[in-house]
């Protein structure tokens, strides 16, 4: 009769161990679920950051193409030869808004209104270069820029525009600001970063240099893409796009010679 209580005691001990085992397994399962949740959130954040950077980089690339159009003063397609030997339709055609006219709107030189007081335009010759230089210097005596056109005294002054956005953004140009007159819309619906707001935006700056100065400053190698003798200028484009997420930024710098000697008419 005495062994009976012993069996009851053993049964009780076995039940306690089972409960402890179940609790441990539940804890391990919960830890695994939380770990998987954190990994999933991390992967989602990484994918979101990558997607935001890719979107910003695409916006910066669009800005570079827009700046090149601004420099050329023409819009694609570049298959139509104009009476002055240039290719493409006028950036500001006459009548305004036309998509077929080959005549330039009165007062405009390329995409900029040369006739407006104290307004810079992309220089086409040495006289233009000196005049535009005076205009941008009067607008900003330290940054030498106005509405995305810059004529700095050397290759170093504006070499790091992206690190001084507080000063440079008001002196920059936005996508389509000067190049979309002939289209029905600015064309920023495909990439929201191209629409400037308080939280995001995209801008470009075009620095104009005389070819000889650019070679000395080593931003343009000699005899690789010599500009046409009638327009011996080299342009350095800086495009900056800030993403939808805080801290996302894409920067593209490009050297552009719109009329190389080897391709001149």
- Give residue-wise pLDDT tens across range 197-217: 877 899 999 999 988 777 655
For residues 70 and 177, the answer to whether their CB atoms sit within 8 Å is no
pLDDT at residue 132 is higher than 70: yes
For residues 234 and 250, the answer to whether their CB atoms sit within 8 Å is no
Split at pLDDT 50, 70, 90, the class of 22 is confident
Q: Dump pLDDT digits (tens) for 114-128.
A: 999 889 999 888 889
**3-state SS record for 117-163:** CCCCCCCCCHHHHHHHHHHHHHHCCCCCEECCEECCCCCCCCCCHHH
pLDDT recorded at residue 144: 95
pLDDT at residue 12 is higher than 60: no
The tokens for 28 are 């391990």
pLDDT recorded at residue 228: 67
pLDDT recorded at residue 84: 64
Give me the percent of the chain exceeding a pLDDT of 70. 75
Backbone torsion region of residue 74, taken as left when φ is above 0, otherwise alpha when ψ lies between -120 and 50, otherwise beta: beta
pLDDT recorded at residue 158: 93
Q: Dump pLDDT digits (tens) for 143-172.
A: 999 999 999 998 899 999 999 999 999 999
Split at pLDDT 50, 70, 90, the class of 265 is very low
| Span of 20-29, 46-55, 251-260 with lowest mean pLDDT | 20-29
For residues 68 and 256, the answer to whether their CB atoms sit within 8 Å is yes
Strands 149-150 and 201-210: parallel
pLDDT at residue 66 is higher than 90: yes
pLDDT at residue 264 is higher than 50: no
| Span of 52-61, 96-105, 233-242, 252-261 with lowest mean pLDDT | 96-105
Q: What is the mean pLDDT of residues 127-149?
A: 94
Locate all alpha helices (DSSP H) within the chain, ordered by sequence.
3-72, 126-139, 165-168, 211-216
Give me the percent of the chain exceeding a pLDDT of 90. 36
CA dist 36 and 25 (Å) reads: 16
CA dist 50 and 86 (Å) reads: 40
pLDDT at residue 11 is higher than 70: no
For residues 151 and 129, the answer to whether their CB atoms sit within 8 Å is yes
Q: Cβ neighbours of residue 64 under 8 Å, at least 6 residues apart?
A: 204, 237, 239, 252, 254
For residues 240 and 251, the answer to whether their CB atoms sit within 8 Å is yes
Q: What is the mean pLDDT of residues 184-194?
A: 69
| Span of 79-93, 167-181, 236-250 with lowest mean pLDDT | 79-93
Q: Dump pLDDT digits (tens) for 67-77.
A: 999 998 888 77
For residues 211 and 233, the answer to whether their CB atoms sit within 8 Å is yes
pLDDT at residue 37 is higher than 60: yes
CA dist 92 and 90 (Å) reads: 5
């Amino acid at each position: 009769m005495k062994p009976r209580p012993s069996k009851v005691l053993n049964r009780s001990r076995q039940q306690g161990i089972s409960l402890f085992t179940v609790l441990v397994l539940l804890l391990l399962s919960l830890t695994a679920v939380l770990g998987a949740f954190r990994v999933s959130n991390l992967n989602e954040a990484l994918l979101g950051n990558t997607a935001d950077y890719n979107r910003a980089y695409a916006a910066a690339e669009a800005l570079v193409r827009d700046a090149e159009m601004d420099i050329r003063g023409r819009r694609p397609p570049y298959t139509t030869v104009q009476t002055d030997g240039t290719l493409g339709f006028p950036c500001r055609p006459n009548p305004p808004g036309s998509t077929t006219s080959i005549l330039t709107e009165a007062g405009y030189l390329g995409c900029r209104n040369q006739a407006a007081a104290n307004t810079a335009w992309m220089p086409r010759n040495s006289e233009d270069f000196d005049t535009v230089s005076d205009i941008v210097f009067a607008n900003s005596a330290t940054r030498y820029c106005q509405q995305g056109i810059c004529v700095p005294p050397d290759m170093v002054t504006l070499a790091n525009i992206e690190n001084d956005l507080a000063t440079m953004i008001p002196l920059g140009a936005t996508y389509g600001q000067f190049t979309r007159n002939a289209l029905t819309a600015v064309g920023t619906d495909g990439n929201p970063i191209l629409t400037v707001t308080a939280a995001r935006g995209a801008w470009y700056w075009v620095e104009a240099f005389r070819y000889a100065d650019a070679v000395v400053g080593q931003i343009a190698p000699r005899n690789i893409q010599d500009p046409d003798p009638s327009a011996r200028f080299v342009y350095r484009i800086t495009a900056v796009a800030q993403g939808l997420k805080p801290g996302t930024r894409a920067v593209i710098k490009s050297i552009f010679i719109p009329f190389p000697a080897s391709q001149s008419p």
